[in-house]
A and B are shown apart, each in its own frame.
Chain A
């Protein structure tokens, strides 16, 4: 069962953006969680360690945003993204990856992702990327040639 999370700030009631973290390294998920939990309007709804588990958890938890790694065991992130977008088109996918490659970024966007950022620049890009993607806007930034497109 999915429970909605609410918060209140300056008299306004808002629904938290629910985020699913997907990476095969627990320590990376912990790092992502640490960065994201700094924002009171965001809630880390769950974690998954590969693409198959991600697809299952999207069904179970119905997150707003999936933060997804590319290289993972069992099912890679590109495939997982395709399946997630096919089953739940309203869920937005943000890739967080070590592949600092325009070609991989194009492939991710073609699979239905709304965002693509590289791990080496996460401190700079992650919060803005989640903000944009949760608003259904595109955010991409490579380390070699930073560029955002909204």
Chain B
């Protein structure tokens, strides 16, 4: 019986590359591809894959919240988080969300197959670079990374985090309501609760919070350049 893998990344070119990489292995098949976290959850419910590979920076619902929701839905889901972000905060959140593997996109060609093999053998997989980061975080802070020491985020409910991401992506309350099948009034209530819980006063504050807490990621212009690159940073997913 084949090992069935669901891929979630908003860039089709990345999915193509991952597919090419994974389907070289006999006995593995990519059973579905999702382009955002919400779609990944719907597809996972239907397809019941053996492994779900999720990119962190996805629109509508980021990879960390997708992982949290998948594990809440069914703790037997095996999720590998794929990311360009290698901060120890992201690693901590991925572990806390219940990911079984953590692979940097830059290392994916080398490590993703090993990560899926580890999951197949009921083990976890973290790249050497991630292991170093975790160890360094432990040494720097003098304490271990623990699932219990969860940070700022859990004060928001899963729904509030979804609303936070969508508002930080620039969507209006009405647009959020449409996307989440809620009434505009309910979204506005969520919005007030989020602002109150986080002591924020404006959408600008909310965007800053979302960036700082990896709910959305910021795309920077290239640097350094011989001539000044004047493009402003844009909020996006990678």
Contacts and interface: CB of A to CB of B under 8 A. Distances in A.
Q: Sort A-B residue pairs by CB-CB distance and give the 8 closest, nearest first.
A: A31-B17, A76-B222, A31-B16, A26-B109, A30-B17, A27-B17, A31-B13, A27-B108
A99 B108 contact: no
B166 to A, nearest CB: 18
A128 B100 CA distance: 40
B229 A107 contact: yes
B222 A34 contact: no
B11 interface: yes
Interface in A88-129: 96, 98-101, 103-104, 107, 119-120, 122-123, 126
A15 interface: no
Contacts of A122: 11-13
Interface string A26-65: 1111111111000000000000000000000000000000
Contacts, number: 96
A27 B222 contact: no
Interface in B175-215: none
B92 interface: no
Nearest to A126: B13
A76 B225 CA distance: 7
B21 A123 contact: no
A34 B181 CA distance: 37
B20 interface: yes
9 contacts: A27-B14, A28-B13, A30-B21, A30-B109, A33-B20, A78-B222, A78-B225, A99-B219, A107-B231
A25 B223 CA distance: 17
Residue of B11, B219, B230 ringed by the most chain A CB atoms within 10 A = B11
Given A71-B220, A78-B225, A25 B15 contact: no
Given A25-B105, A30-B20, A31-B14, A98 B238 contact: yes
Interface residues of A, number: 33
A132 interface: no
A70 to B, nearest CB: 5
A72 interface: yes
Interface string B11-54: 11111111111000000000000000000000000000000000
Contacts of B20: 30-31, 33-34
Given A30-B17, A34-B16, A78-B225, A98 B219 contact: yes
B140 interface: no
A100 B220 contact: no
B230 to A, nearest CB: 7
A119 B106 contact: no
Contacts of A103: 230-231
A131 interface: no
Nearest to A76: B222
Contacts of A25: 14, 17, 84, 105-106, 108
A31 B108 CA distance: 12
Nearest to A124: B12
B21 A76 contact: no
A119 B21 CA distance: 19
A14 to B, nearest CB: 26
Given A35-B13, A120-B10, A123-B12, A27 B18 contact: yes
A28 B14 contact: yes
A52 to B, nearest CB: 13
Nearest to B21: A30
B149 interface: no
